[in-house]
Structure 1
């Protein structure tokens, strides 16, 4: 992530002869970046709301670990799942150093970041980026990964060796987190050398398929769960992470820009295809998504990734308990969570303030986002859901109920997100109060559904009717929340 430092970011560097920022030591630069990061989060969330976020993470991970162990889940599965979460967060965090200034200014307004000061100050862009990524690894290693490591005390039991176990588990998670960051940085660096995204995706796909065919994927756990592997494997992962990060920084081209393209009148063409009146705001939202990196495929990719994770979870549960859940109910309830990522894609490069100069109301803007969400989100989850129910041989009743749950829960999750977070769904991920509220809101709908999907397989007509009714009710709640989000955030912007 980045920060809101201004004067502190610019003043310490001083002039240098070679333009590399030699007059500013790495520890000093690291300290300024840490202060910048803290200022950003405290400005965005308020000091105590961000400071207590690690507590929320600790409560959730420790509570989930206790619940999984009580239901008979193998401790090794819990350990592996926590490492997957750390790896995923590392992959996400690796993009922070490359976030565009336009996207950040949508959140903070005009700002001057130390990371972007290499164009104005004698600081090496590569060195600055390297120190920035080191700062992120240390900062989130404490703020996010350390609370996760407290689960080790539950896995090992409270004893004299609990503290060393937590420390070792934390180092294992941090190593995987850093590996995820380095991987993302390497992919972005390759992209700056002109390699097209489809070639990168094809290479990753070939590697995964090759590993699956040769059976080498089974050895992945020994590498990416260092605490369960050998010291040699952990050392190899550490050396490999450093090597990949070093090469990526050397390959990264800070002057790279996307090639210029001739733009056609896509707005008029897209507007003409929508069966809506006064749909300029909806058209703008869809066009912004289409023009962004990844385009309209991003919501489909997010839903597909969620499908793969849920499918793996079904296999794990089946192997542990010998019970496969009702696939339609299970996938319908969980795939609805893609509403959060879809809405995030629709607002990522947008800000509500930008609309205040136009003769439109805040409520109109939220209404347009809701329509765009339905147009994009419906096919993005329908295709993965259809694939899931066909692959897992869901019964007709199970598939129909799951479809109702998917539609209703997606609307509910969307309404919950937009009501809590407004135009900035990604922000409240580090706000303890909003994150806890969102988590409770999701659990209220999802947990009883998943439990019901395990108890009666296949679902009886009575259970199917009850779940279907619940899905409709949650969908109505979501519509109400999303319709009230416009007036709620309009009032907040008027008072700020």
Structure 2
């Protein structure tokens, strides 16, 4: 049955290369490699501010978060197997027409997606560091070990969220119980041992002191989580048929201050009834950020007392901007083509839905500020988070329109996005560390955010919408 996996890999290549060209898609890992290669030459300068061990923690945390962000296959299982990718008919739907078990097909789909993420994101970065190591005086064994541990970090994050999302699709009370147990273990370790549970992360321990036991432990955890997640997979939602009350009219009335209340209400109702609001918030937002907070808190000795909170607000703002993907992932313009609705009108409705969802990061940052004893910096943290989120949204609308989850693999789009976001993040980081309340100036980002959004309205109204 290896033929099915190979066919899925070819299908993935053909889908993306058809959208924006084979060369452009093939250059994506080259771009990541080049960023890693050039960035490696900054390591000697960064070591003056942070020890090498703390830098490795940040890098492992980033790849763990990447795994978290892409690993919620349990939420997407029904979408994958029930042909809800817009107008695309994928091989994963073959369970409906071929004598193949649905669980087997879904396992191949997950492995294929995981391989693609490793090839596109993990290996190019590692190769860039490996080739740069002779020029910066780093023994080649270090980047080789880092390649192994970063891969394990990514897979650990992916399989953990895959497992949790699969449990969520089966039983929400069971997921709640698991999260309570994990929180209790982490809290107990912090109180009794006086240490940060992030240091128990197997790939980090493996990087700090390589041993075959740590390697076996890391691999065993990943394999067990993956196998259990596949066993829990179900293409059909469990439980009895749901009956829901009419929500469109009252919700549209509450959203009447937006330009397109019915469309915005429709998006929010779709997410609510499909479980997307709770599921995406939990697996694509809360869990990754809670883990990132533990990793960032390890830098308390190297940053000002308020530094971790404000840096965390920047990270939260970037992740919160991906909520635009939540409301566009399975909604193409084709379904609206017969209505008197322009592309820009539909995008505006998505922005309205996105704005409502920003209550989630606002509440989250407020709780983090209070619980960490940094409530005095709550307002600067909120301004920083929401300003970065809406600025990133404006750029996303301009570059990707209604297809952010697809066009991100266009090299030109991704490079432009990274440059425009990266410059702002570096400037804001420098300013807020010097004077925390200067973060209030980040509200000025709403001006370029609105400008980029208007450019996007004009750009996508003038283009024929693709069918994917």
Normalised by the size of structure 1, how large is the TM-score?
0.79
Instruction: Report the Cα offset of residue 446 of structure 1.
Output: 1.7
d(CA) in 1 for partners of 2:264, 2:401: 17
- Give the counterpart of 2:421 among 425, 435, 442: 442
Instruction: Report the Cα offset of residue 225 of structure 1.
Output: 4.8
- Give the counterpart of 2:265 among 283, 298, 302: 283
Match status 1:383 vs 2:363: yes
Matched with 2:299 is 317
Matched with 1:116 is 93
The CA deviation string for residues 147-180 of structure 1, in whole angstroms up to 9 with x for no partner, is 2223653896549995555444323333343344
The CA deviation string for residues 438-487 of structure 1, in whole angstroms up to 9 with x for no partner, is 1111122221111112234x55xxxx3xx544x34321111122233222
Matched with 1:479 is 450
Instruction: Report the Cα offset of residue 324 of structure 1.
Output: 3.7
What is the root-mean-square deviation of aligned Cα atoms in Å?
A: 3.5
Instruction: Report the Cα offset of residue 281 of structure 1.
Output: 1.6
Normalised by the size of structure 2, how large is the TM-score?
0.83
Instruction: Report the Cα offset of residue 309 of structure 1.
Output: 5.6
The CA deviation string for residues 62-111 of structure 1, in whole angstroms up to 9 with x for no partner, is 4555445513322223333333333333344444572615997555x242
Aligned CA distance change for structure 1 residues 162 and 117 (closer, same or farther; 3 Å): farther
Map 1:289-304 → 2, pairs under 5 A: 289-295=271-277, 298-299=280-281, 304=286
**Residues 60 and 204 in structure 2, CA contact (< 8 A), matched pair in contact too:** yes
Aligned CA distance change for structure 1 residues 198 and 451 (closer, same or farther; 3 Å): farther
Map 1:109-258 → 2, pairs under 5 A: 109-111=87-89, 113-150=90-127, 152-153=129-130, 157-158=134-135, 165-191=142-168, 194=170, 196-215=171-190, 217=197, 220-223=200-203, 225-228=205-208, 229-254=210-235, 257=238
| Structure having the higher Rg | 1
**Residues 314 and 425 in structure 2, CA contact (< 8 A), matched pair in contact too:** yes
Instruction: Report the Cα offset of residue 146 of structure 1.
Output: 0.8
Map 1:454-493 → 2, pairs under 5 A: 454-456=433-435, 464=438, 468-469=440-441, 471-493=442-464
Secondary structure (helix, strand or coil) at the match of 1:408 reads helix
d(CA) in 1 for partners of 2:31, 2:239: 40
Instruction: Report the Cα offset of residue 51 of structure 1.
Output: 1.1
Instruction: Report the Cα offset of residue 364 of structure 1.
Output: 1.9
Number of residue pairs matched by the alignment: 456
Aligned CA distance change for structure 1 residues 438 and 453 (closer, same or farther; 3 Å): same
Matched with 2:290 is 308
Instruction: Report the Cα offset of residue 333 of structure 1.
Output: 4.0
Instruction: Report the Cα offset of residue 219 of structure 1.
Output: 5.8
- Alignment gaps of 5+ in structure 2: none
Instruction: Report the Cα offset of residue 209 of structure 1.
Output: 2.2
Match status 1:38 vs 2:13: yes
Instruction: Report the Cα offset of residue 37 of structure 1.
Output: 1.9
- Give the counterpart of 1:75 among 39, 52, 75: 52
d(CA) in 2 for partners of 1:445, 1:173: 27
- Give the counterpart of 1:352 among 327, 333, 337: 333
d(CA) in 1 for partners of 2:407, 2:44: 29
Map 1:86-101 → 2, pairs under 5 A: 86-96=63-73, 98=77, 100-101=79-80
**Residues 61 and 151 in structure 1, CA contact (< 8 A), matched pair in contact too:** yes
Secondary structure (helix, strand or coil) at the match of 2:186 reads helix
Instruction: Report the Cα offset of residue 254 of structure 1.
Output: 4.6
The CA deviation string for residues 202-238 of structure 1, in whole angstroms up to 9 with x for no partner, is 3123223223303583662345553334211211322
**Residues 72 and 284 in structure 2, CA contact (< 8 A), matched pair in contact too:** no
Map 1:376-455 → 2, pairs under 5 A: 376-377=357-358, 379-391=359-371, 394=374, 399-455=378-434
d(CA) in 2 for partners of 1:357, 1:226: 57
Aligned CA distance change for structure 1 residues 142 and 306 (closer, same or farther; 3 Å): closer
d(CA) in 1 for partners of 2:165, 2:308: 37
Aligned CA distance change for structure 1 residues 48 and 451 (closer, same or farther; 3 Å): same
**Residues 405 and 472 in structure 1, CA contact (< 8 A), matched pair in contact too:** yes
Aligned CA distance change for structure 1 residues 472 and 86 (closer, same or farther; 3 Å): closer
Secondary structure (helix, strand or coil) at the match of 1:140 reads helix
**Residues 156 and 162 in structure 1, CA contact (< 8 A), matched pair in contact too:** yes
Aligned CA distance change for structure 1 residues 127 and 269 (closer, same or farther; 3 Å): same
